[in-house]
Amino acid sequence: MTSTVLVIEDDLGLQKYLKELLLDNGYFVKTASDGIEALNSIEKLKPDLLVLDLGLPNMSGEAVCMEVRKKYPDLPIIILTARDGVSDIVQGLNLGADDYMTKPFIADEFLARIKARLRFQQGTNNKLEVGDLELNNETLEVKRSKQQIQLTPQEFKLLQYLMTNKGRVLTREMILNRVWLYSTDIQTRVVDVYMGYLRKKIDGGFNKKLVHSVRGFGYMLKE
């Protein structure tokens, strides 16, 4: 799956560089320029990893780190800052950061650390579950309340992506990037069409709906 990285950096030049670097290496990237914006973005996007500067306006990077760690204990945080003292590094790690890098930095090392953090964080589950919905990645079976559901290969990939990211809002662009690999022949409208197909098969005949539209954003699978 395509991982989403939220870059929290108030230096707009560096922010742009980091975004382009991550996009070029296959990540979905969002940015925030201050602490308050960062917390709001985390709530909406549910990113897979944070790149966090400490010297932020409105709310410090340290405060953001502590707040994120309280609410999202498993969300990887990589601090990227000009503060290079040993005491700064120790403090950053004690606040809950998973890694600490100082500026200036080497791009390849930065990317390697992100990849390592995500690899550690993300395990591949043979069986995915959301409520009474089950998807088996080995047998390619999908069941709801023990009833078999027949899906096309594309519908299966779409559901797999939704279930892997259960409870998280996925934009049409994110879904296109993961399920259709951003084919130039594909428009975001196809996501709506396939979500309609999937909703009928997954939610049809059930009182409790699992597939949800999030107005202005995209879709989410949740109990």
Q: Parse the chain into domains and list their residue ranges.
A: 4-121, 127-221
Express each pLDDT in 164-209 by its tens digit: 889 989 988 888 877 765 544 456 788 898 899 999 999 999 999 9
CATH topology of domain 127-221: Arc Repressor Mutant, subunit A (1.10.10)
Cα–Cα distance between 16 and 47 in angstroms, integer? 18
> Taking residues 28-51, what's their average pLDDT?
95
The total of other beta-carbon atoms located within 10 Å of residue 29's CB is 20
pLDDT at 109 over 70: yes
Q: Could you report how far apart the first and last alpha carbons of the chain are, in Å? A: 21
- Cα separation values, 131 from 72, 125, 208, Å: 21, 16, 10
Is residue 143 very low, low, confident or very high in pLDDT (cuts 50, 70, 90)?
Answer: very high
Cα–Cα distance between 158 and 155 in angstroms, integer? 5
Give residue 142's pLDDT: 95
pLDDT at 160 over 50: yes
Whether residue 76 is preceded by a cis peptide bond, meaning omega within 30 degrees of 0, is no
219 and 170 in contact (C-beta within 8 Å)? yes
HSE-CB for 21 with a 13 A CA cutoff: 18
Task: Give the rounded percent of residues in the chain with a pLDDT score beyond 70.
Answer: 93
Task: Give the rounded percent of residues in the chain with a pLDDT score beyond 90.
Answer: 56
Express each pLDDT in 53-102 by its tens digit: 999 999 999 999 999 988 887 788 999 999 988 788 878 887 878 788 99
Give residue 184's pLDDT: 45
Architecture field, domain 4-121: 3-Layer(aba) Sandwich (3.40)
Give residue 181's pLDDT: 56
